[in-house]
């Protein structure tokens, strides 16, 4: 699917990016330092509460890395990975940190403190082994999250 055809909601919300890393990579993540990431799937949990809501944030995440300034930890990772699936919800009754904690139960939080500069979470990036991906889908869709395959 072309990202041009994706219609995103302009409301504020939460999102999960399911990212695919093709090959093991040494990745610099800003002030966190360099981390060796194994190939596979990673889930990143974030929130879009600023102007333009989910639409602005998700379109930014899908734009190729060289077209934008590095701002968040996720920007470093997006230079090495492809977005496979996006989940989003407009339900803000639970924080992105609560969801990060829930998703961590399906995988391994790594690197520590990734995407968690403004909170006290272990981190907002979770490596998910392939067999757990269906549990991720179930967890989110059972709570009313929408899913977009990229
Ligand atoms: Zn957090």
pLDDT over threshold 80, residue 66: no
pLDDT over threshold 50, residue 1: no
Residues with CB under 5 A from ligand 1 (ion): 97, 116, 119, 121
Which residue spans within the chain are E strands per DSSP? 13-21, 25-28, 34-37, 40-48, 82-89, 108-109, 125-128, 146-149
Residue 82 domain boundaries: 3-149
- Total number of domains in the chain: 1
CA 4 to ligand 1 centroid distance, Å: 30
CA 136 to ligand 1 centroid distance, Å: 18
**Range 85-112 average pLDDT:** 96
Q: What is the pLDDT of residue 75?
A: 94
**pTM (global) more than 0.75:** yes
């Amino acid at each position: 699917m072309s990202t041009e055809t994706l219609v995103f909601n302009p409301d504020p919300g939460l999102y999960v990016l399911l990212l695919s890393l093709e090959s093991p990579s040494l990745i610099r993540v800003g002030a966190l330092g360099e981390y060796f990431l194994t190939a596979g799937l990673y889930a990143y949990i974030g929130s879009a509460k600023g102007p333009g809501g989910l639409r602005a944030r998700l379109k930014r995440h899908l734009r190729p890395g060289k077209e934008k300034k590095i701002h968040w930890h996720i920007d470093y990772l997006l230079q090495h990975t492809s977005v496979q699936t996006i989940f989003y919800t407009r339900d803000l009754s639970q924080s992105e940190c609560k969801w990060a904690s829930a998703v961590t139960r399906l995988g391994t939080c790594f690197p520590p403190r990734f995407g968690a500069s403004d909170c006290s979470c272990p981190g907002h990036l979770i490596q998910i082994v392939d067999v757990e991906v269906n549990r991720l889908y179930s967890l989110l869709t059972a709570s009313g999250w929408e899913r977009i395959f990229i």
